[in-house]
Structure 1
Amino acid sequence: MPCMASSADQGKRLALTYCARCHAIDKVSQSPLKIAPPFRTLHERYPVETLEEALAEGIVTGHPAMPEFRFEGDQIGDFIAFLKTLE
């Protein structure tokens, strides 16, 4: 029977695969790319749930080194669940 709940572990795997080259994805490290905010600080700027739509439509930033990211629905839930573990 498949589990339908979002998986923070799967979200962490997504972060490791797509984000960790530039962003700190744990509770203590500095981001490898200085201008990339550590994921543990995102909730201080806005509720991480507000990222759901941007992740679905494709995150585009004013920073040219950041590629556009677009996740599938189940990946978005997993990624948000992971971000919440860092709050």
Structure 2
Amino acid sequence: MKRRTAFTLVPFAVAFALPAWAGDGSLIAYGKRLVEANCARCHAVSRTGASIHPDAPPFRTLRLRYPIEDLQEALAEGISTGHPDMPEFVATPDQAEAIIGYIKSLGR
């Protein structure tokens, strides 16, 4: 009986140990959802278009303006600077990785 219970719980333990983006199979898709939810009210977050906020650079230009590794570190530590009225945003390591993956995909 104990052995059967252990085997029943293993799939659940594995599912909860995986990063949040692994569920839909796409780190980039997860990053896109994050920036659409948290950044699109000011920034252009796709391959085209202008940012709504005049001081908010389009995401497709971020990799040209900043070393991408620095941006990933800033996301994890909490970005509190940018354009003057940008809210503070702190990402988990998985979220930061997904956002950087998405930003990199905009340059392809």
TM range (shorter): 0.7 to 0.9
**Partner residue in 1 for 2:97:** 77
Amino acid at match of 1:61: T
Q: CA RMSD in A?
A: 2.0
Give the structure with the larger helix fraction.
2
Percent identical among aligned pairs is 51
The runs of at least 4 consecutive aligned structure 1 residues that moved more than 4 Å come to: none
**Partner residue in 2 for 1:47:** 67
Structure with max Cα Rg? 2
Distance 2:82 2:100 in 1: 22
Please identify, of 33-42 and 56-65, the stretch whose mean Cα deviation from structure 2 is larger: 56-65
- TM-score normalized with structure 2 length: 0.72
Instruction: Give the drift of 1:58.
Output: 0.5
- TM-score normalized with structure 1 length: 0.88
1:30 aligns with 2:50: yes
Instruction: Give the drift of 1:62.
Output: 5.7
Structure 1 gap segments, 5+ residues each: none
Structure 2 gap segments, 5+ residues each: 1-14
Q: 1:6 to 1:77 in 2, by over 3 A?
A: farther
